[in-house]
Amino acid sequence: MAIATKTGVTSGKRARTKAANRQAILAAARQVFARIGFDATTIRDIIRETDLAAGTFYNYFRSKEEVFEAIADQSTRRFRPLLQTVREQATSFEEYISAAYRAYFSFLKAQNEEAVRDGAPHMALIGVRVDTPEMHAIFDEIRIDLEEVARTTNISLEDSEFLTAAAIGIAREIGDHMLKRRPADVEGATRFATTLLLDGGKALATYGEKDPAPSAH
Amino acid sequence: MAIATKTGVTSGKRARTKAANRQAILAAARQVFARIGFDATTIRDIIRETDLAAGTFYNYFRSKEEVFEAIADQSTRRFRPLLQTVREQATSFEEYISAAYRAYFSFLKAQNEEAVRDGAPHMALIGVRVDTPEMHAIFDEIRIDLEEVARTTNISLEDSEFLTAAAIGIAREIGDHMLKRRPADVEGATRFATTLLLDGGKALATYGEKDPAPSAH
DNA sequence: TACAAAGTTGACGAAGCGTCATGAATTTGT
DNA sequence: ACAAATTCATGACGCTTCGTCAACTTTGTA
């Protein structure tokens, strides 16, 4: 009889298998992408890993690219609550930046380990990298956070959009390089990124000495 | 008769048409990618824009992806001499960073305008972004430059790899956002990126004031 | 000029694509 | 409780693109 809920979701069997099928396709796609890579993957490769028929795929996604985006979207969605926590707990600009980087690098490390466990050859991770609407939402969220934290700490930012872009650029690139170093050092990456974003490269360098002895807390 | 040169390149007609064909394919691919996008492009779309036959394509490239990489590689190759000049003329850390960012942002703007002129819908630029060997070369070049400039100015860098990664991340993201603002402000982006990398976000903020009055020279 | 080497051509079989008529399972209406 | 209506899975089909290859043309060598 299918009871309609507030959200418009029905509890009938129809709706349940629909959700299950979607998830099955996404899970299968994850596996196959990890195993043989996005380019080599065909839609039939994906559907073969489920108990569905070829045509059914097209009831859920228009193309391979759309599945990919949906997976990236899932990843991004899982990151947002972490950012939410960071926002709620930060009491200063420094704290926000530091905690946000830590959250991202931890998340990245976890995602990477999961992908490797799933049989990804090496670092073929579908990350929080693709240009999805969800990613744009994160960008705006961070920008607004920065503005807000700056405002409450009586700071004026010159250009919050550029600052956000830079913060994200640093996160992406340092994140990649962090993963290449085994074991991935989340704290080290966090400290570096935070110091750089706040105080710049000069704070990470020492003048007139042979060995570096920077402090960044 | 084909005179063999030092480099193993022959001056015969064979070698000339070979180079010409390769360029023809690359040029055609550029056009088609710009017009209809990478995904929609088929190898036959590309070859149709030349006076070659389908089979000939495979004498030059293994796949559409390989053409793409070759184009990205060309872009990257064109950027390297600019970086060379920057390296030669910089006398301080600050100067190197500033000039390098200016070179990159100018290059990016020029590339973008060229792509738009070629009929790219909007910002579908094949940039200095892809993970090619040539890009890795640039990365190493910048890292070594940073180390070198730091050494001659008696500075110790904590982690030149991370610093390079961060510098490139900032360039990429700010570059993207710069292009979205019309007209693209190369000097503004350069100033922002340079100040951030050297002195950090704090240098771009003002404390206890309403309107920002940052100085970054 | 004759022969060898290199390269081009386009037709061909294979592979993957997206669609759609069919039928089964679920929901709705009475 | 049953029938009508709706939703959706199925897999075969026609179509597009793929990469290859035997035949042919052009270039280089002697």
* Contact between residue B150 and residue B156 where contact means Cβ atoms under 8 Å apart: yes
Calpha distance B193→B172 (Å, rounded):
10
Instruction: Verify whether the Cβ–Cβ distance A158 to B65 is below 8 Å.
Output: no
Q: What's the CA–C1' distance between A47 and C26, in Å?
A: 24
B84 vs B202: CA distance, rounded Å = 31
- Number of folded domains in chain A? 2
Q: For chain C, which bases have at least one atom within 7 A of a protein Cβ? A: 6-11, 15-21, 25-28
Within a domain: A210: no
pLDDT digits (tens), chain A, 217 positions: 544 444 445 567 788 999 999 999 999 999 999 889 898 999 999 999 999 999 999 999 999 999 999 999 998 999 999 999 999 999 888 999 999 999 999 999 999 998 888 777 655 566 666 778 999 999 999 999 999 988 888 888 989 999 999 999 999 999 999 999 989 999 999 999 999 999 987 766 666 544 444 444 4
Same structural domain, A75 and A169 = yes
Its domain, for residue B149, covers 69-204
More confident: B7 or A86:
A86
Interface test with A, best of B173, B185, B199 (most A CBs within 10 A): B173
Alpha-carbon distance of A166 to A155, in angstroms, equals 18
Can you point out the beta strands (E) in B36-83? none
Residues A88 and A180 occupy one common structural domain: yes
> Per-residue pLDDT for B175 more than 60?
yes
> Furthest-apart CA pair in chain B: how many Å?
79
Q: Phi and psi for A203 in degrees, rounded to 5? A: -75, -15
Within a domain: A76: yes
Q: Round to whole Å and give the CA distance between B87 and B143.
A: 12
Q: Is the CB of A14 under 7 A from strand C?
A: yes
Q: Searching chain A, which residue's CA lies closest to the CA of residue B64?
A: A39
Question: Which helix (H) or strand (E) segment is B135 a member of?
Answer: helix B133-152
B47 shares its domain with B83: no
Q: Does A23 lie in the same domain as A87? A: no
Which tops the pLDDT comparison, A12 or B199? B199
**Any atom of strand C under 7 A from CB of A48?**
no
Q: Which pairs count as long-range contacts for B81-85, CB under 8 Å and 24+ apart, including other chains?
A: B82/B107, B83/B138, B83/B141, B83/B142, B83/B145
Mean pLDDT of chain B: 86
Note whether B144 and B192 are same-domain residues: yes
User: How many Å separate Cα A192 from the centre of its chain?
Assistant: 19
Q: Looking at per-residue confidence, does A199 or B202 come out higher?
A: A199
Residue among B143, B128, B20, B144 at smallest CA distance from B77: B128
Report pLDDT for B127.
64
Q: Determine the distance between A84 (CA) and C9 (C1') in angstroms.
A: 61
Last residue of a domain, one of B61, B77, B92: B61
Q: Does residue B109 sit within a domain?
A: yes
B20 with B74, same domain? Answer: no
Residues B48 and B86 in one domain: no
Say how far apart CA A123 and CA A149 lie, in whole Å.
Answer: 34
Q: Which helix (H) or strand (E) segment is B199 a member of?
A: helix B186-199
- Cis bond upstream, residue B212 (ω within 30): no
Q: What pLDDT shows up at residue B81?
A: 96
Instruction: Return the CATH number at A42.
Output: 1.10.10
**B198–A197 C-beta distance less than 8 A:** no
Region B133-161: mean pLDDT is 92
SS3 of residue B150 by DSSP: helix
Do A79 and A148 share a structural domain? Answer: yes
Do B54 and B105 belong to one domain? no
For A51, A210, B9, the CA distances from B153, given in Å and listed in that order, are 65, 12, 43
Residues A57 and A76 in one domain: no
B170 vs B8: which has the higher pLDDT: B170
Strand-pair category, A155-157 with B155-157: unpaired
| Segment B178-184 mean pLDDT | 92
Distance CA B214, CA B217 (A): 10
Q: pLDDT: is A217 or B189 the higher one?
A: B189
B128-B73-B51 Cα angle (round to 5): 125
Q: What is the CATH number of the domain that holds B169?
A: 1.10.357.10
User: From residue B199, how far is each of A24, A71, A118, B158, B213 by CA, in Å?
Assistant: 49, 38, 42, 15, 15
Residue length of chain A: 217
Please report the pLDDT score of residue A13 as a whole number: 75
User: Any idea which nucleotide's C1' is nearest the CA of A40?
Assistant: C16
- Partner A, chain B 194-213, Cβ-Cβ below 8 Å: 195-212
Q: Which residues contact A120 (CB under 8 A, 6 or more apart)?
A: A34, A35
Q: Is B123:B179 a contact under the CB 8 Å cutoff?
A: yes
The token duo for B146 is: 């940073």
B89, B40: one domain: no
Are A37 and A101 members of one domain? no
Cβ neighbourhood burial of B3 (10 Å; 0-12, 13-18, 19+): exposed
Residues 151-170 (B) with a CB less than 8 A from some CB of A:
154-159, 161-163, 165-166, 168-170
